[in-house]
Every structure is written in C-alpha cells, then in structure tokens.
Structure 1
Amino acid sequence: MSTTPTPDPAAAPTPGPSTPPGPSTTPAPPAHRPPRTGGDLVIESLAALGADTVFGLPGQHALGLFDALRRAPGLRYVGLRTENNAGFAADAYARTTHRVAPLLVSTGPGALLTLPALQEAAAGSAAVLALGSQVPVAGLGGGRHGYLHELADQAAAFRGVVKSVHTVRTASQIPSAVAAAWESAVSVPHGPVWLEIPQDVLLAPVDVPPVVELPLQVREVAPRREVIVEAARRLGEARRPVILAGGGVVRAGAEAELLALAERLRAPVATTFGGKGAFPWEHPLSLQSWLEDRHTTDFLEDADTLLVVGSGLGELSSNYHTFRPRGRVVQIEADLGKLESNHAALGIHADARAALAALLAEVPPGRPAGAPAADGPEAAVAALLARVRDRLDGQGLAAEREILAAVRAALPDDAVSCWDMTILAYWAWSAFDARRPNALHSAQGAGGLGYGFPAALGAAVADPGRPVLAVSGDGGAMYSLAELATARQYDLPVTWLIVDDGGYGILREYMTDAFGATTAEATELTRPDFVALAGSFGVPAVRTTPERLGADLAAALAAPGPSVVVLPARLRMFAPTHLTA
C-alpha cells in the first residue's frame, strides 16, 4: 500500500503585498511523451522521402507502424477493408500521381493478400511500396517457432512478383532500407517493391535523432546516341512509318514528344490499352486503340518501319500474338526484360520521353508530304477506322456501343475512370476516348477481378476535387462490396457503375465460344440487391436502364460523395478477328 506525503504548510510561499494571489508561475511538468520506436523511424523515413498519404490495414505484428502513424500529423492514412483492395487503391494512386504509394500491412495472411494487387502494379508499372511486418527477429527464416502468421520465408512469396525485396533486422537499418525500397519503386521502369520489418524491431525504443532527409539516387534510363541516330535514319527514310504507343509514354509524360514526332513523320499512331490518352483520339493520324481487330493488325504489319514506344508487344498489344510485322521494328522500352522479348527490333533501352526527345533532335524537320492527300497516311487512317465501324455494324452490337457512348457523354473530360475485368471494360479498351492521358486505368495487366472500385477510391484520394468513375460487373463487384464503407467513411467522390448480367459475363462468353456451352454452376451467380445494399452503407444508389443511363450517371457524378448506379444488362463482346467481305 502506498501513501501520499502530506505537504508541509510551512514550505509553501505565503503571498505578500508584492505577490498577489493568482496562477502558479511554477512550470508544469512535461507531458508524457512515449519513446520513439522503430515504427517512428519508418514513418519519419516515408515523410522525409515525400510521402503524404499511405494506404493499408493494421494487424498484430504491424501495430508499431500504426502507433507511430498516429504521431505523424502530416501523413494521411487511408484504410481499406481488405489488403488486396488496399493494394489496388495504392496502385491507382501511384498511377494517377506518378508518385510512390506506401502500403502498410501485417504479416502472413495480411501480406499474402496483397499479392494479386502487387501483380497488377507490376504489370502496370505502378510504384507501390508495400511495407509489411514480420514475426520477431528470432523467428525469421525458421517457420517453426509457432508465432502467429509465421511463414518459413515470407519474402520468397514476393520475389517473383515485385521489382525488389528488402528485409530489415535492426532499427538502424530502417531509414536506408526504406530509401532503397523507395528508390527501386520510382526508378525506371516503375514498379512495386516489398519491404518487411520484424515486430520487435518496430516496437523497440530507438535512441537516434529523427529522420529529416534521405538522399535518393533515382535511376534514369537514357538512350545510347548511336541507336538513336540509326533509329532516326530508319524512320526518316521510311515510306510507311507507323507508331504504336504504349503505357510507357503515359508514365513518362511523353505525350507532347509523341505528337511532335508523329506529325513530323506523318506517321499514324495506335495506342495500346495501357497507353490510352497518349495520342489525341480524333487526330487525323490517330488509329485509336482497335488492337483486337484484324484490320488494325494488318495496318501495323504493313508498316515498313514500326516504332513501338513503351510497350513490350505482349498478348493484348499484339492481338493475342497474331501480329507478324513485315517491315522493320524499332522498339523503345524502359524495362530491359521486355526489350525484343516478343519481336526482333532495333532495341532502344530508355525512358520513353528521353528517347522520343532524342529522336526529335535527329529526325530532320519538314519531312516531305510525299503522296497526294487522298493517298496519304491521313486518308489511310480514315479508311481503316471506316472498316472497323463497318465490321462492328455487321455484328448487331448497337446496344453495347450506345451504352459505352452514354458513359463517355456522362463522364466529365477531366475525370478519371477505373475499370474492372468486365465486358464493358473490354469495349472501353478499344472504343473509349480517354480524352486525356493517365485518365483511364484498368486491370488489363494481370487481369485480376475486383480492381475497379478500390482503384477508383485510390484515384479519388489522389484528387478529391474531381469525380471518379468505377465500372464493374456484378461478379467483380462482389470482390469489393466492403469498400462501400471506405467510400462512405472518407466521403470520396466515386460513382460506381455496376453492370449486372447475372454472372461472370466474359467467362460465360469465353466458355460458350470455346465449348459451345457454359458450366452454369461456375458462371451464373446469385447476387444481392446492389441498390439496397449500397443504401445500407449510407451510399445513394439507383437502378437504371440503357435509356436512362447517361442522365443517371451524370447526376451521380455531379453529386458530392460516393454513389452507385446499377445497370441490369447482358452485354456481348465484338468478334475481334472477324473480317467482313
């Protein structure tokens, strides 16, 4: 039992004429300030590198991180309801801002649930710094100590997915490890990284000064002059030059250089699905994005010199690997692993903006117009797009085209849209005018379901002053319904269009095309009442029709905060390789 000593009255000062009664002038004891920990070092390091927003979800081993986050008033935390969705939100934040998006998660299940999102970030070159906790240092590499969430080698799960893996074992390693992971994520080619720190290192007090600044050596990939000179010669001499612009153009911010080079060469430009917005959609030289079309594939194949910028010519960009160039290919690619990975080319390992600027300096200005206008490249582009329209006209797809047009008309020009793996998104890849670069994002890199809505939340966090559209099918929407709570909690201006066709629509089409029938138990789904469900989260929702879609979407996008628009409709895909007579 403890007792409190009684103060001695004689020891207390007695106010006199010169000391009027009043507040004590004795300084108050300092407020209790907890010791700084390894978690504080992490948060200080992120702030020193320029982070102002982090995404994530707490867990037992990561509580040292989240406790430190509470003491960092300059760092905004956005918490989602599952780690995978937090990863998708960080992915879209990184894409829309061209910055690093920190993602804080816990050990074991929490860490592993980020893998689908990190695979998409890797495919889309999104700079996500995934920072997870680990079991205490004593359990690292063992898998036999019985710690909750323990894995024999947690980092091994990430090595085939991310750009680099970093493991910390002592507090003194934290600032340098965070800087190294950040540097890896933001160096060209951008991509996700994984950094893990043991629980006891995050919780242990540290006796070092706060982290104020961290030096970075971000790697830029500059082109070699001799290959630029040769590429400029080939392009300058080409009679039928064509350009295929990929996502690397958008990530590098090279749209102005692309436009200038295309106009100097009078070269038609097609954009990949990841490169949408890299070139003006209605420009006389724009082939748009009809890559799942045999007419477009033939046009690209017929180029005597094809310049591929910021694309590895993967499955979707090569019309499912049916593309067979008959002329020479010049390829600019920042990711060395993708350079000439699918087709032989004069390879230029470089950032798209640096390489295009170097080509502009070498290609002589005032290239002769050549053939009369009626037979020039602009006429060839117009003829190709007419053939594409004719092909679609013969497939009875007016409803699908009208729905996509209604979405485009309702969406403000400066708005961002995020698309899940659904039939309307497949249409958007080819037929949707993004109106500006870096405004349309989808999961077409890795192709996982559930991307659209959490990605839209991340894009809204990046710029809450403008509306964001998310588009999902009912199957993909089921992956993300919990994030309606996130949208409401942060009052994010995201309108979620759910196209409800009663199942996994694209898989239904694939199975029917391949096997003549579907496995109904696999493709057909029982769904909730999406309107009522959204209302239970306090999110306004409306059920619409194709005729009312444009007006309902426009109203939802104009209203503050989140909203849901449900369109019951069974859409069809266009036949990508069908040739009309």
Structure 2
Amino acid sequence: MSPHDHHHDETPHLTPEQLAAALNPPAGRNGGDLVVETLQGLGATTVFGLPGQHALGMFDALRRSSLTYLGLRVENNTGFAADAYGRVTGEVAPLLLSTGPGALTSLAALQEAAAGSSPVLAISSQIPTAGLGGGRHGYLHELRDQQASFRDIVKSVHTVRKASQIPSALAAAWESALTAPHGPVWVEIPQDVLLAETTLPPVTAMDATPRELFPRPELTAVAAHLLSSATRPVIIAGGGVVRSDASGKLLALAEKLDAPVVSTFGGKGAFPWEHPLSLQSWMEDRHTTDFLESADVLLVVGSGLGELSSNYHTFAPRGRVIQIEADLGKLESNHPALGIHADARIALSELLEQTTDRADKTAAESVRTVLAKVRARIDAQDLGFEQQLVASVREALPAASPSFWDMTILAYWAWSVWPGALHSAQGAGGLGYGFPAAIGASAADRTTPVLAVSGDGGAMYSIAELATARQYNLPVTWLIVDDGGYGILREYMTDAFGEATATELSRPDFVALAESFGVPAVRTTPESLTEDLAKAFAEPGPSVVVLPAVLKMFAPTHLGAV
C-alpha cells in the first residue's frame, strides 16, 4: 500500500446526511457556529463561560448545539471551574471569554491551570478585525496586544482572523492542551468573524490526537540499570503520575524494586496511602527529607522538585537522581539528574519491563521507622485539634467524592495528612480556587457530592458562585473555616515580625448570606462537624457548612526544628 492510499483509508467518510449538509449548508450560521461545531467534533460535551459583547456570536451558537453550558459569575472562577473539570476528567475544558477585562480576569485561573497542568481551552473574542494592529481605535475593551497578556501563562496562543481558520486553530489548540504536559491554551477570534454569516459546510469530526511523549531508549536503559543495582532506591511521585494515569505502573515498579514512595502534595493519590512502602506525603518534614537524601538512587516521576516538594529547597540528595518529567523546562531545573523527558506512564512502563526484581524485601521496615519519627514529632506539638478536624472531614466525605481545597490552614494540613487524592491550588497558590473548582468537578458528574474547603478570606473571592451552584442545583458542599482573617498570613507575620498587619477581616454572616442565595447552611462545631457535613452531602443540591475555628500549623522542620 502506498503512503497516499494509507492516508486516504484513514480519512473519515461523510455520512449521507453530512454530505447533504456540506453541499447545502443550513442557513443562519455564523463564525460562532463554527466554534461550537468544532468543539463538538473534537469531542467536547461541556463548556464553561461568561458572555460579553464581542463574544455573543459564540454564545448564541450554543443554542444550536448539543453542548452543555455552565456559566459562572466571575471569569476567574469560571477558569477555576474549567481547570477542575479538566483535572477530574482528563479531557479538554473549553472556556468561553469576552475581550479585554473579561479575558484578563481569567489570568490567575489560567496560571493555576498551567502550574497544575490542567487542559483548559480558553477561547476569547477580540475587537473587530478593522481595529487590530495596536492602534487606539476606541473600541470597548480594546487592548494594544491582547494575546501578549497570555503568552507568559499558557502553553500556546492561536489567533484567528478569518472564519475558515476557526476549525484548524481550535484543533491545534486542543492537541496542544492534551499533549503532555497538559496545560491551558489560548485562542482569539475577532467579534466580526464570530458574527459574520458563513456558507462553510458544518464541521464534522476533527482530528486533534495529542502527540505521545516517549522516553529515549538509551536513557531508560541507564535508569533501569541504576535502579536494578541500587541498594536503597526511593521514589518521589508527583502530579505527573496522577495526570498520566500511571499509578498502577508506579505501584508495580515500587513493589518490584522494593522502593519506598513519597507522594508530593500535587501527587496525592499516585500511590496507595496505607501501602507498606508508602511514606505518604510528609514533604515538609526533616525526617522525610533525610530519608530521601539517604537514597543511593532516587527516582523522581512527574515532579519538578519545586519549593514545596523539596522542603523549601533544603533537600540535598546524596545519591543519583533520575527525573522523569514531561515539562522540558523542569528537567534538572532544581537538581542534577539523569533527566528523561517523557510521559510518566510510558516511561514507567519501560522501566517496569527493564528492571530486575529485588529479592530481599526490607524497605517496609524503613518506612515504618520514618513514619513513627514523623508521628512522634507531630504528637509533641499539641496539634490534636487540627488533626481531628481533618479526620472528621474525611469521615464524612463519601469514598467516591472528590475534594477541592483553597489555600487555607486546613488545606495545608490536608496536604500532609489527608489519605489519598485531593485537588488544591498549590500549583500557583492563588486564593478562591476551592468552591468554583468544586462546581466544575460537579459539572463532570452530577451524581456524586463534591466537597469544597475554604477559609473565610478565600471564601470571599468566590462567594458569588453560590448563585451558580443554586442555579444549576449542583451537589457541592462548601466548608468555610472562619478564623476571622487570612489565618496563614497572620501566622507567618506573627512568626516573622512579632505582629500581624492587614490580616484581620470583617466578614459576613456566612450562614445568612448562603441562605439569601437559597442555599441551605449551618453553623457547626468541631464536635458536630462530621455529622453536619454528612447531612449536607446526603441532601441534593448545594449547601454550606461554616466552622468558626482558629487553627495552627505544625512547626516548619525546614528551618532546623525537630
């Protein structure tokens, strides 16, 4: 068969109905229809958005599509919802935005999507084509160079200037978003292109298959040799293991090598929490850091060993480091290593085939020793209240329910002690992630209750989304821990300066406020937290649980404390 014949066989054939529509396109379609038709052709089922003047062509076209639309109240929150949808499904989450302020308001959410490798496809409108070029035409929302604001954040930028460019631009962006490492992408389409009637045929199936990222064979051969020869191999599992669905491969490799596994905060859920080889997630702990440093071969999978994953850059490995990372810029960015640029799942499969089984399985005892040291350190700090709160939340949450955590003290505890997977905004660290993210995850599966956790400071960033949760009747329960201000900043400032400034906040009666949105709410206590949360999860629709409590963090061991 010739290459030409092979290509022809792979070209999808039109159905008789599609052929008829191509030869005689339906009337009343515009550029917006090409957008939604392309998204459907690429496999999208749900889109997130917030309409604006220049983007109305896209939003009008939604009426003529089978796409499910979820509209939030603030563009940044809309971006957080799309981010969470991408995280829980592994699918592209389209995000429809307007020009200028509407687009720019999404920037912090797109930064989190980039840091957390979430496949968000942001599609923004632009001023009419006649006004493009950096002039000062006086159009509403006009920016001199709108795409420049996004280039520092997203994986790729795709501009459209003619209707015929829409399908290919969206397909290229889709492929970019899903190619490892996943990430947000940006498409920009002028208002007049979205509104102009089109006689182009309806878009059918589009091919945007992401590129596979294979490891170079000579590097996996060296890595397999090092791991097979190691006497004290240890594995750090990062978020890349979770995103590439590689936890099964990781478990098999760890058991084969008898290698203890530490999960980073972004990699929670990558390895079974109670497994005999699980060192769990105590990344901010000197005992864990010392153990990692003592490994003669350290395999780092899907982590850049950034600030949180290196115990604030105090980690200094003494053995050989092997780093498997899909983001080329993170290879050896913090520590010298045998850097393997690859998708975690593919690379772990190769290592599983090429490594030899360790006969003497003794690592579980080392794991027990380290965890006992960590436990003794925490127990000496009189922090039973904080640990009990995390346990109470875990007890109430149904096993299949995902949880989304804002940047708040309870979340910092959960990073270390929550058993298994959770989602948080620790990639970029912005406030306001938890509740809109839970809304996005709920849109992916409306049959399972979802938990959001915020402090009172972070809650005020996304309070408007109570209206969204009510409008769509989503089963999201929002736990707001009210400590009267920015609790972690209060603690940081008091430790550093002896006094906190700008951390104390006036706040609403969250229960009354939630009820004004038609969302049932309850004020709880630490003793009744499990019961009140369980009731909220059992009821259909959204709910709010407010816990007045001041929490403390455990002592930071990266500063020399033990």
- Band the TM-score falls in, shorter-chain normalisation: over 0.9
Alignment of 1:269-308 (within 5 A): 269-308=261-300
Alignment of 1:260-409 (within 5 A): 260-365=252-357, 367-369=358-360, 376-409=362-395
Residues 143, 150 of structure 1: 8 Å contact kept: no
Please state whether the residue corresponding to 2:481 is helix, strand or coil: strand
Residues 86, 118 of structure 2: 8 Å contact kept: yes
**Counterpart residue type for residue 412 of structure 1:** P
Q: 1:70 and 1:236, CA in 2 relative to 1: closer, same or farther beyond 3 A?
A: same
Q: Do residues 211 (structure 1) and 203 (structure 2) align?
A: yes
2:33 aligned residue (24, 40, 43): 40
Residues of 2 paired with 1:141 and 1:491: CA distance?
44
User: Which residue pairs with 1:56 in the alignment?
Assistant: 49
Q: Do residues 135 (structure 1) and 127 (structure 2) align?
A: yes
Alignment of 1:80-119 (within 5 A): 80-119=72-111
- Deviations 1:404-428 (Å, cap 9, x if unpaired)? 1101111111110000000000000
Cα deviation, residue 142, structure 1: 2.0
Residues of 2 paired with 1:277 and 1:247: CA distance?
9
Residues of 2 paired with 1:580 and 1:213: CA distance?
59
Cα deviation, residue 139, structure 1: 1.1
1:559 aligned residue (522, 539, 551): 539
Q: Do residues 523 (structure 1) and 509 (structure 2) align?
A: no
User: Which residue pairs with 2:417 in the alignment?
Assistant: 431
1:541 aligned residue (513, 521, 535): 521
Identity %: 73
- Deviations 1:117-148 (Å, cap 9, x if unpaired)? 00000000000000000000011122400000
User: Which residue pairs with 1:461 in the alignment?
Assistant: 443
Residues 442, 451 of structure 1: 8 Å contact kept: yes
With structure 1 as the length reference, what TM-score do the two structures score?
0.91
Structure 1, unaligned stretches of length 5 or more?
A: 1-32, 371-375
Alignment of 1:411-422 (within 5 A): 411-422=397-408
User: Which residue pairs with 1:161 in the alignment?
Assistant: 153
Cα deviation, residue 579, structure 1: 6.6
User: Which residue pairs with 2:60 in the alignment?
Assistant: 67
Residues 456, 486 of structure 2: 8 Å contact kept: yes
Q: 1:580 and 1:160, CA in 2 relative to 1: closer, same or farther beyond 3 A?
A: closer
Residues of 2 paired with 1:492 and 1:41: CA distance?
30
Residues 189, 335 of structure 1: 8 Å contact kept: yes
User: Which residue pairs with 1:3 in the alignment?
Assistant: none
**Counterpart residue type for residue 194 of structure 1:** W
Residues of 2 paired with 1:96 and 1:574: CA distance?
30
With structure 2 as the length reference, what TM-score do the two structures score?
0.94
- Deviations 1:250-295 (Å, cap 9, x if unpaired)? 0000011000000001000000001001100000100000001111
Residues of 2 paired with 1:469 and 1:576: CA distance?
28
Residues of 2 paired with 1:456 and 1:143: CA distance?
41
User: Which residue pairs with 1:258 in the alignment?
Assistant: 250
Cα deviation, residue 217, structure 1: 3.9
Q: Do residues 449 (structure 1) and 447 (structure 2) align?
A: no
Residues 255, 278 of structure 1: 8 Å contact kept: yes
Q: Do residues 410 (structure 1) and 396 (structure 2) align?
A: yes
Residues 503, 525 of structure 1: 8 Å contact kept: yes
Please state whether the residue corresponding to 1:523 is helix, strand or coil: coil
User: Which residue pairs with 2:457 in the alignment?
Assistant: 475
Residues 120, 183 of structure 2: 8 Å contact kept: yes
Residues 291, 316 of structure 1: 8 Å contact kept: yes
Report the number of matched residues. 536
Residues of 2 paired with 1:257 and 1:363: CA distance?
13
Runs of 4+ in 1 over 2 A off after TM superposition: 578-581
Cα deviation, residue 364, structure 1: 1.7
Residues of 1 paired with 2:129 and 2:213: CA distance?
37
User: Which residue pairs with 2:3 in the alignment?
Assistant: none
**Counterpart residue type for residue 538 of structure 1:** G
Residues of 2 paired with 1:421 and 1:446: CA distance?
10
Residues 555, 561 of structure 2: 8 Å contact kept: no
Structure 2, unaligned stretches of length 5 or more?
A: 1-25
Please state whether the residue corresponding to 1:288 is helix, strand or coil: coil
Q: Do residues 485 (structure 1) and 467 (structure 2) align?
A: yes
2:493 aligned residue (511, 515, 531): 511
Q: 1:395 and 1:39, CA in 2 relative to 1: closer, same or farther beyond 3 A?
A: same
Residues 82, 95 of structure 2: 8 Å contact kept: yes
Cα deviation, residue 377, structure 1: 1.3
Residues 391, 579 of structure 1: 8 Å contact kept: no
**Counterpart residue type for residue 544 of structure 1:** T
Residues of 2 paired with 1:576 and 1:467: CA distance?
34
Q: 1:339 and 1:580, CA in 2 relative to 1: closer, same or farther beyond 3 A?
A: closer
